Amino acid sequence: MRLALEFIHFTLGALVVIPLAVVPFAGVIEVRARNAPGVRGLGRASTVVGVIALVIGFLGIMLISYVPHVTIATPWLGASVILYGATLALTMGVTAPRLRAASESIARGSAASTGILTVSGVATTVFLAAMVVLMVWKP
C-alpha cells in the first residue's frame, strides 16, 4: 500500500506543481492580451489543478502513517503542510476567482487588474519551491 501511495502522490505532485505555479502568470498574460476565453480557461484550469492538488495533499497525509519516525509534528513536514495549505488557499481563494472575474470584465469590455494575480503567482511559486525543497531535503 505504501508503494502505491508514494507512486501516486509523487507522480501527481510532479505533474501538478508546475501548473500551480504557472497558471497565475499565464493568467496575467491573457488578461493583458484581453483574451476572455483564454482567461476563462485558465480559471477553470486553476480550479481543476487545485482540486487535484487537494487530492495529493490527502494522499500525503495518508502516507504519513506508513513512514516510520515521521509525524505531522516533524518540523519539515509540518512546514510543508502549512506551505501547501497556503498554496491551495491562494489557488482556490484568489487565483481562480480573480481569473473568473477578469474574464467577465474583459467580456463586458471593461478593464481587468493583474496586480493580485501577479502577487498570487509569486507567492504560490515561492511557497511551492520551499515546499519541494523541504520534501526532498527533509532536514
36-88: per-residue pLDDT in tens? 999 999 999 999 999 999 999 999 989 888 888 888 889 999 999 999 999 99
- Global pTM reads 0.88
- Residues 104-139 have pLDDT tens digits of 999 998 888 899 999 999 999 999 999 989 988 987
Per the rule left: phi > 0, alpha: psi between -120 and 50, beta: everything else, 109 is left
Query: Is the distance from CB of 135 to CB of 6 less than 8 angstroms?
Result: no
- Are the CB atoms for 41 and 23 separated by under 8 Å? no
Nearest Cα to Cα of residue 102 among 44, 40, 50, 45: 40
